[in-house]
Structure 1
Amino acid sequence: MPELDFAGLNAAAQAAFKPHFEQVRARARRRRRTRIAAAVVAAAVVATGSGIAVARPAGKPSPAPAFGPDRTPEFMPGPQPTPTPGAGRQVSTGRPAAGDLNHVYLRYQECRTGCPVRFAATDDRGRTWRTGRLPVPDDAMVDLRAVGPRTLAAWYVSRSAPNSRSAAWTTSADGGATWRQVTVRRVAALPAGWRVLDLQPGPSDEPLLAVDPATGDIAQLATASTLRNSTLAAGSPASAGLWISGWTGSRDGNGGPTVWTGSGVEVSRDGGRTWQRHEFPDLLTASDDVGGAAVATFDGRTVYAVGRVTGKLVIWRSADGGDTWQRAAGTADVANRTIRAAVRRDGVLLIQAGISAAEKPVMLASTDGGRTVRPTTLGPGADARPVPGGYVQTGWPDSKGAWLSADGLTWSWVAPPAL
């Protein structure tokens, strides 16, 4: 990891105990645009490990979480009220991590005499939850991931650590019952069948990394992506290859944010050993944070690069796995919203413009290869991640639970536990 800005890290961590994180996310975006890599790592890890704040008198048993269609919340509700300081036990949680459609995990932290880092886990799709302690320092910044139904990986670093080289990984292959420290092994190609993780900073700063879903062993590419400010297309199935989106260059912003140039995508079908690149003629981007276009594919052959250019939705399509690309005619006004995109198994291209309530999100769909787009019901699917047996999409940070689907079409809601 790059050097961390530990002075700024503590302030960002304190801010993370608030229930809504648009300010934290905005700071992370500004820092990323100026390429102050150390501050970005701190803010990104805080954003990964922060979430709801709830208050409950100590000693009261946790009630069962809301579950069922009659209690399904809005897909993207607005900010929730801030609990009064000192009005009860404060708990902060992170983004849910799904191992499959039944196993969901949630990192959380409670602060009284200390702030031990714990996790909640459900083995029955949210009907019941169990809790456990993560073997990390109380003041650790933690990114908890599920890489299999019962296999977890946690990246962590203490705020009192002298530098980022103190960061470490711990994994569990039994749902969190036992943990072990893992040394990351450098490889020329990621092993087939291992779960590739989308980390921050992206693969241009930190080479792609994968975790064995059976053992929790970790391997990392020996070399980083040659695209700049890049991001992994985490919603693509493993069979589609590794897709990275980013920029080929940059120029000075004359005292402002770095100006990125040369939007492009790269794909590897041999675990990252070799890469094929394509560059787009326009400044196609899906975000003001990281990466260029949003890459969407279901089979690795029909691939879309979706983003915005001067406030207009732009869609590029490849029918041959990225060898050649054509700009599709479909467009819409999306302003400066963040773009997410996915191809469902029925071939529909689903596009979400806006990923938080503050962005006033809209959902678009195309059934004709991007030639036309039409508004559709706002809901999960455009940022779906494949898991064994189906798909998961979190509602974080505006919704604190997870959406699960066996087919990417019909979704059910798993609410977070009352901790």
Structure 2
Amino acid sequence: MPELDFRGLDAAAQAGFKPHFAQVVTVARRRRSRRRLLAVATVALLAGVAGVAATRTDPAPPPPGLAPDRTPDFIPTPGITPTAEPRRQVNTGQPAAGDLSHVYLRWSECRTGCPLRWAGTDDGGRHWRTGPLPVPDDANVDLRSAGPGTIVAAYYTRSFATGWIASADGGASWREVTVRRVDALPAGWRLLGSSGPAAEPLLAADPATGDLAQLTRPPALRMAALVESVPADAGVWVSGFTGERTEADGRIVGVGSAIEVSRDGGRTWSRHDFPEGLTASDDVGGPAVATWDGQTVYAIGRVRGALVVWRSTDGGGTWGRAAGTAVVGQRTIRAAVRPDGVLTVQAGISAGEDPMMLASSDGGATLRPAPLGPGADPRPVPGGFVQTGWPDSKGAWLSADGLTWTWLDPPELP
């Protein structure tokens, strides 16, 4: 079996277990700051609309909808609640959705050395089932859903044992899976994004069986990331850099922003290099890529702290820079195109980044403040979309139309 790339998985797993104590100290200040920023943005937006009412006819993009039932903050401030007596601690992983009804996660009752288990729901969170994960107790596990009843999990141990397991019956039974190398990923299989920079070739899972296929060649771009928010029929999109450099402190950073797209499962690729150091993250990938139909495509990132938007109307063949911009500093960028054609941009993906939302209904010509909520980093699933706010949020948001979202609480596990 080929050696798997799990760089970043351990850090990601530990991030879910680590309290953000600094954020507990600053929560009050950040909330006051958000209220002030929202008030200023509202006044500026109303003034701008009044000033251009004679020339602009397109309406402001509607905010992402939430179901009428009470939901938590989109990105709640992490912290701990002191208690007088020790309490049982349950550590859960990032939710993985097969569709809007079937959601799975891994969990354990202590930080290390406890048997790992899975939890799953078949009815959108009303009832949950649990069972053991057949991996060593010291393993780190990256659990993914390949289909409504199909789960795959990559694991590695402190003794460097690695492997994949899969279940095609919702977790009732599991088997070891050997990754098969292919020249093109099979049509209809679920693409599996990497938990770190993709030094290994792209991987896909059969939604019926959990079988795994991996391209024979890794992405040509450095520190590449699969764009998971793109609909399956829009092709395979990868964002990354054309080169790397080592900083004085030893950090490796990407240089030269680019994206690649394949319309034949990864057999052939077309590439576009951007003239600026367009980046959506300091850790992995180049610009954030957003498209609904694979034809109108946006590449969004920051350049010297300012948001920059590039747009293509021919599936990435040619590109032009849009006029819309905003000051985002060093925030991590996520973006998606909603079903109604509105471009949604999220700057900041954790509470520590003080996130903000922007939207454009005119092809990126203008970017307007929008309410903070899901929709900028969705994962297409049969019947709709799912988005998580991991690690700050342990649950998930589900949507049948990409516009109205409902909250799925993590389970109270036995």
Partner SS state of residue 352, structure 2 = helix
Tell me, in whole angstroms, the C-alpha distance in 1 between the residues paired with 2:7 and 2:278: 31
CA apart distance, 1:378: 0.5
CA apart distance, 1:70: 3.5
CA contact (8 A) 1:20 1:397 kept: no
CA contact (8 A) 2:245 2:253 kept: yes
Tell me, in whole angstroms, the C-alpha distance in 2 between the residues paired with 1:356 and 1:15: 12
Letter in 1 for 2:380: P
**1:181 is aligned to 2:180:** no
Letter in 2 for 1:360: D
Tell me, in whole angstroms, the C-alpha distance in 2 between the residues paired with 1:169 and 1:297: 31
2:316 to 297, 314, 322: 322
Alpha carbons of structure 1 residues 213 and 327: separation in structure 2 relative to 1, 3 Å:
same
Tell me, in whole angstroms, the C-alpha distance in 2 between the residues paired with 1:128 and 1:288: 39
Letter in 1 for 2:373: G
Partner SS state of residue 267, structure 1 = strand
Structure 1 residues 191-230: aligned runs within 5 Å: 191-203=186-198, 205-230=199-224
CA contact (8 A) 2:112 2:138 kept: no
Letter in 1 for 2:182: V
Give per-residue Cα distances to partners, 1:307-362, cap 9 Å, x unaligned. 10000000000000010000000000001000000001111100000001111111
Tell me, in whole angstroms, the C-alpha distance in 2 between the residues paired with 1:13 and 1:303: 32
1:168 to 154, 163, 167: 163
Letter in 2 for 1:129: W
Q: Which residue of 2 aligns with 1:18?
A: 18
Q: Which residue of 2 aligns with 1:285?
A: 279
CA contact (8 A) 2:6 2:196 kept: no
Tell me, in whole angstroms, the C-alpha distance in 2 between the residues paired with 1:241 and 1:269: 5
Which runs of 5 or more structure 2 residues have no equivalent in the other structure? 24-66
Q: Kindly name which structure, 1 or 2, has the bigger radius of gyration based on alpha carbons.
A: 2
CA contact (8 A) 1:107 1:144 kept: yes
Q: Which residue of 2 aligns with 1:364?
A: 358
Q: Which residue of 2 aligns with 1:273?
A: 267
CA apart distance, 1:130: 1.2
Q: Which residue of 2 aligns with 1:346?
A: 340
Tell me, in whole angstroms, the C-alpha distance in 1 between the residues paired with 2:139 and 2:348: 31
Letter in 1 for 2:282: D
Tell me, in whole angstroms, the C-alpha distance in 1 between the residues paired with 2:17 and 2:334: 27
Alpha carbons of structure 1 residues 86 and 155: separation in structure 2 relative to 1, 3 Å:
farther
Letter in 2 for 1:142: V
Q: Which residue of 2 aligns with 1:120?
A: 119
Letter in 2 for 1:18: K
Tell me, in whole angstroms, the C-alpha distance in 2 between the residues paired with 1:174 and 1:125: 17
Which runs of 5 or more structure 1 residues have no equivalent in the other structure? 24-67
Q: Which residue of 2 aligns with 1:55?
A: none
TM-score when scaled to structure 2? 0.84
Tell me, in whole angstroms, the C-alpha distance in 2 between the residues paired with 1:69 and 1:80: 26
Q: Which residue of 2 aligns with 1:253?
A: 247
Q: Which residue of 2 aligns with 1:50?
A: none
Give per-residue Cα distances to partners, 1:255-298, cap 9 Å, x unaligned. 44234221000000100011000000000000011011000111
CA contact (8 A) 1:20 1:398 kept: no
Identity of aligned residues (%): 67
Tell me, in whole angstroms, the C-alpha distance in 2 between the residues paired with 1:358 and 1:112: 23
Alpha carbons of structure 1 residues 73 and 168: separation in structure 2 relative to 1, 3 Å:
same
CA apart distance, 1:249: 1.0
CA contact (8 A) 2:192 2:204 kept: yes
Q: Which residue of 2 aligns with 1:312?
A: 306
Q: Which residue of 2 aligns with 1:240?
A: 234
Tell me, in whole angstroms, the C-alpha distance in 2 between the residues paired with 1:12 and 1:341: 21
Tell me, in whole angstroms, the C-alpha distance in 2 between the residues paired with 1:408 and 1:393: 10
CA apart distance, 1:122: 0.9
CA contact (8 A) 1:19 1:82 kept: no
Tell me, in whole angstroms, the C-alpha distance in 1 between the residues paired with 2:283 and 2:366: 27
Q: Which residue of 2 aligns with 1:77?
A: 76
Partner SS state of residue 399, structure 1 = coil
Q: Which residue of 2 aligns with 1:40?
A: none
Give per-residue Cα distances to partners, 1:151-204, cap 9 Å, x unaligned. 000001122x2x3xx31000001100111110000000000000001013333x
Q: Which residue of 2 aligns with 1:337?
A: 331
Letter in 1 for 2:332: T
Q: Which residue of 2 aligns with 1:133?
A: 132
Give per-residue Cα distances to partners, 1:73-101, cap 9 Å, x unaligned. 11111112155697022211110111100
CA apart distance, 1:15: 7.2
**Superposition RMSD in Å:** 2.4
Letter in 2 for 1:167: T
The range that moved more, 393-402 or 108-117, is: 108-117
Letter in 1 for 2:225: T
Partner SS state of residue 90, structure 2 = strand
CA contact (8 A) 2:7 2:197 kept: no
Aligned length: 368
Partner SS state of residue 364, structure 1 = strand
Q: Which residue of 2 aligns with 1:190?
A: 185
Letter in 1 for 2:147: G
CA contact (8 A) 2:16 2:392 kept: no
Alpha carbons of structure 1 residues 259 and 119: separation in structure 2 relative to 1, 3 Å:
closer
Letter in 2 for 1:341: A
Tell me, in whole angstroms, the C-alpha distance in 2 between the residues paired with 1:112 and 1:224: 33
Tell me, in whole angstroms, the C-alpha distance in 1 between the residues paired with 2:388 and 2:7: 28
Alpha carbons of structure 1 residues 94 and 5: separation in structure 2 relative to 1, 3 Å:
closer
CA contact (8 A) 1:262 1:282 kept: yes
CA apart distance, 1:140: 0.7
CA apart distance, 1:120: 1.1
Tell me, in whole angstroms, the C-alpha distance in 2 between the residues paired with 1:403 and 1:136: 29
